[in-house]
Chains A and B, each alone.
Chain A
Amino acid sequence: MPLWLFVFLAALAVLAALGVVLQRNPVHCLMALVVVLLDLAVMFIGLGAVTVGFLQAIVYVGAIMVLFLFVIWLLNLQTEERRVAGSIGLRFFGAVGAAALVAELCVFVVKAPSTAGLSHVPPTFGSIGAIAEALFTDYLIAFEATSLLLLVAVIGAVALARRATASRTRSPVPVSPAVHEQIGARQ
């Protein structure tokens, strides 16, 4: 990746990150966060980590951000935007956390070990093809079982969220007359 492109992407990421913090409308914050994450994905791809870049886009932008949007939408957070900004404790701890992070990053930049001693991985390392090969050979069972896990989650969600009507029963009482009579229970 040429340096000018990296500088451009880095500046864009910082600007968008500031947008996440400084805007008041939670949906706008979220959109700025999407820009940050997509920006990072492009950087990953530019640095050769193609799979990580795609996963960044799919997992963070595709799944997690949509989840955030749903939560904001469900809780209707827009009406509470002013109150959140005023909390002193939140600002204090936010500032402390940010300062700690900056300090940590500075230490890492100053004390970064030289890359000379590291061994080189083959160019296919971490490529989508290599990951697919691992998934469909060594981890085949885990992969297939995961698909069943997702199916279970879908069935479970539908079973719980389905409207609680006496669907699929012909009579208004969800018990067959014979059983109902014998049970003699209050409905």
Chain B
Amino acid sequence: MTAFNLAAIDIAWLPICPLIIVGVSAMAVLLAGVRVRDDESQGLGVLTLALIALAFVFALGLLGQSGIAFAGAIAADNFAVFFELVILISAALVVLMSIDYLPAFGLSAAEYYALLLFSTFGMMLMATGGDLIVIFIGFEVMSISVYVLAGFLRRSLKSNEAALKYFVMGAFSTAFLLYGIALVYGATGTIKLGPIRAALSNPMAGNPLLLSGIGLMLVGFGFKVAAVPFHMWTPDAYEGAPTPVTAFMAVGVKLGAFAGFIRIFMVHLGPVSPDWSIVLWVIAAFTMTVGNLVALVQVNIKRMLAYSAIAHAGYILVGMTAAGSQAGGAILYYLLGYAFTNLGAFAAVIALERRGVESDLITNYRGLAVRHPGLAAAMALFLLSLTGVPPLAGFLGKFYIFSAALNAGLVWLVVIAVINSVISAYYYIAVIVAMYMREGEAVVGALGRRPAVITALAVAAIGTVLIGIYPEPYITGALHAFNSAFGAALPRTASILP
């Protein structure tokens, strides 16, 4: 046996700096929280926030670098850094929502913040992973943390149900993903994404091992992004989980999963895209349609937002089906706007929540505009952005994705998507009608008057408006992030910018 050749280890600290900060922060928060009482845990939340801000600064510093390190296991390119930044913003907003939620609902804060940071770490690792194993481990770190977070309201049966359903279905989907990775490894002889792409350039189409592997990976990611028909767990898990965790599931988990999904499928499985894009086409169409149709009949706002999250996954899948660098940039912009909008909507839900009261029914929002005009206006803003009303972020996100899909010739898919957008207006605007046009006794809990929740609402509202009315830096940034990371590998498509 020879001694290790230590010089052969390609260690670069800088590209993994944000990851290290978040991982170490999670452990630090856990240790710092040992002596913190659960009813006085606000300080721990502020500490978490500061650590996330530190990681954000370091991630910003990575912009514009190639970031390939650890022999290709880490690819902190602009695409990854863009996702890291959005994930960190989402995590920060979720912490803001949690600071007062945890003591009010009696959740143990040290473990909560630690697991929140761990799942953030997992999402960032998924975005940064340059080989299938690293992406898979990121997937698992993210998932296991969120399974536990979903069950944090331990005395609530619904929370237990949410955690158990999410865990069992999630573990099942993980097996699919892992099996798919194993088969792709078997077919191509490598787990590193770059060499996989190179191996696929040789005529491999129709190789059953490769096709089965791609199909199984599609199922694994489909579960995590809540695509139909793998969406069954979503409404129950979203409804039962503590609301800040639901917000994190709807935004953070989706960001992480789509980061891995896009990197693997749109970019590195691109050479065999004829094999899987038709499947994605069908999944996208069903995801949009089922999500929107079932959302119409929901009476609980968390369930409604869960189906809305399914529908939005469908819109993003439209962009993935379109392929090409323009569609990639459009998806990044869409996810940025979606993060602010959806987190804002959940922050508004939290503002109305009271412990021990069934406060998530849409009927509880009646008359909110009279009693709390500011909160009602913010909620209306987020719902309009989710609908896709100009000039908010949600509108331009859909516009760019649909343009890219039209350029790629997916006329029918875009027709289905537009019809779905119209359907979605019905249930989003139903909540606005309840708030503005119905008489009612909407009660805002103490959480709605706490500075942290109000800050989260304000930041989300400003983000939603700003990204919508002044989109140039964000859409060009998103396009640049995608192009500088993968542009050379993808066919050039017509520009989506007017």
Contacts and interface: CB of A to CB of B under 8 A. Distances in A.
A148 B8 CA distance: 24
Contacts of A140: 9, 11, 70, 73
Interface residues of A, number: 43
Interface string A83-113: 0000000000000000000000000000000
Given A148-B118, A160-B148, A179-B103, A124 B73 contact: no
Contacts of A148: 23, 118, 121, 141
Interface in A131-161: 132-133, 136-142, 145-146, 148-149, 151-153, 155-160
Contacts of A170: 37, 39
A62 interface: no
A141 B16 contact: yes
Contact of B154 (A138, A164, A183): A164
Given A175-B104, A183-B446, A169 B37 contact: yes
A79 to B, nearest CB: 26
B365 interface: no
A141 to B, nearest CB: 5
A127 interface: yes
**Which of A140, A157, A183: most chain B Cβ within 10 A?**
A183
Tell me whether chain B's interface is mostly helix, strand or loop, or mixed: helix
A77 interface: no
Contacts of B38: 166, 168-169, 174
B391 to A, nearest CB: 37
A187 interface: yes
A48 to B, nearest CB: 15
A138 B71 contact: yes
A171 interface: yes
A152 B446 contact: no
A166 B11 CA distance: 45
Nearest to B4: A133
A127 B73 CA distance: 23
A166 B449 CA distance: 26
A168 B108 contact: yes
B106 A152 contact: no
Given A168-B37, A175-B106, A185 B148 contact: no
Contact of A169 (B39, B70, B141): B39
Nearest to B1: A129
Interface stretch (B90-98, B130-138, B228-236, B332-340): B130-138
**Which of B38, B39, B148: most chain A Cβ within 10 A?**
B39
A153 B114 CA distance: 12
A124 B357 contact: no
A159 B118 contact: no
A114 interface: no
Contacts of B111: 155, 158-159
Interface string B47-90: 00000000000000000000000110110000000000000000
Nearest to A170: B37
Contacts of A127: 1
A182 interface: yes
A107 B357 CA distance: 66
B137 A142 contact: yes
A4 B286 CA distance: 63
Interface string A115-137: 00000000010010100110011
B441 interface: no
B103 A153 contact: no
B266 to A, nearest CB: 23
A76 interface: no
Contact of B446 (A141, A174, A179): A179
Contacts of A157: 148
Interface residues of B, number: 56
A133 B3 CA distance: 9
B147 interface: yes
A182 B118 contact: no
Given A166-B106, A185-B357, A160 B138 contact: no
B16 to A, nearest CB: 7
A183 B445 contact: yes
Contacts of A139: 73, 133
B40 A176 contact: yes
A168 B23 CA distance: 25
Contacts of A166: 38, 106
Contacts of A82: none
Nearest to A136: B4
Contact of A156 (B2, B100, B106, B147): B147
Interface string B141-156: 1001101100110110
B320 to A, nearest CB: 26
B103 A175 contact: yes
A140 B155 CA distance: 40
B144 A149 contact: yes
A156 B354 contact: no
A156 B148 contact: yes
A63 to B, nearest CB: 17
A148 to B, nearest CB: 6
Given A137-B8, A166-B106, A156 B144 contact: yes
A156 B145 contact: yes
A152 B73 contact: no
Nearest to B33: A168
A62 to B, nearest CB: 21
Interface string B335-379: 000000000000000000011110000000000000000000000
B121 A179 contact: no
Given A142-B131, A185-B445, 9 more contacts: A129-B2, A149-B137, A149-B140, A152-B141, A156-B144, A160-B154, A169-B37, A175-B104, A183-B445
Interface of B: 1-2, 4-5, 8-9, 11, 16, 23, 27, 30, 36-40, 70-71, 73-74, 100, 103-104, 106, 108, 111, 114-115, 118, 121-122, 125, 131, 133-134, 137-138, 140-141, 144-145, 147-148, 151-152, 154-155, 163, 354-357, 445-447, 449
13 contacts: A145-B134, A158-B111, A159-B115, A160-B148, A160-B151, A160-B163, A162-B108, A170-B37, A174-B38, A174-B39, A175-B355, A179-B446, A185-B354
Top 8 nearest A-B pairs (CB, nearest first) are A156-B148, A182-B446, A174-B106, A129-B1, A159-B111, A185-B355, A186-B356, A176-B39
